[in-house]
């Protein structure tokens, strides 16, 4: 998977470097997915000309992070 956004690509590279036998892999993936979802919301806010507020109380679905960027 490749992203044109450097921060998201760095996080995706982190996913690729995880050891599949790591007993904490699921929790690590959830943390990375949440970080990617936050970055995607920041990108969306910039594109819409709005301010992203991480304290807005909106829950982030980590599954959004691994969806196609063009599909969001």
Residue appearing with tokens 């690590």:
28
Reported as a pLDDT band with limits 50, 70 and 90, residue 39 is confident
- Please state whether 49 falls in left (phi above 0), alpha (psi between -120 and 50) or beta: left
Share of the chain above pLDDT 90, in %: 29
Query: What is the torsional sign of CA 8, 12, 17, 22?
Result: positive
Whether the full predicted model's pTM is greater than 0.85, yes or no, is no
pLDDT given for residue 72 in this prediction: 46
Residue pair 51/27 in contact by the 8 Å Cβ criterion: no
Which ranges in the chain belong to alpha helices (H)?
6-17, 25-48
pLDDT given for residue 21 in this prediction: 93
Phi/psi of residue 57, each to 5°?
A: 80, 5
């Amino acid at each position: 998977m490749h992203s044109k956004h450097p921060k998201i690509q760095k996080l995706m590279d982190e996913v690729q470097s995880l050891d599949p036998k790591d007993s904490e892999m699921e929790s690590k993936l959830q943390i990375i997915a949440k970080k990617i979802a936050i970055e995607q919301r920041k990108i969306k806010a910039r594109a819409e000309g709005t301010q992203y507020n991480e304290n807005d109380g909106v829950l982030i679905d980590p599954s959004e992070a691994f969806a196609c960027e063009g599909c969001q």
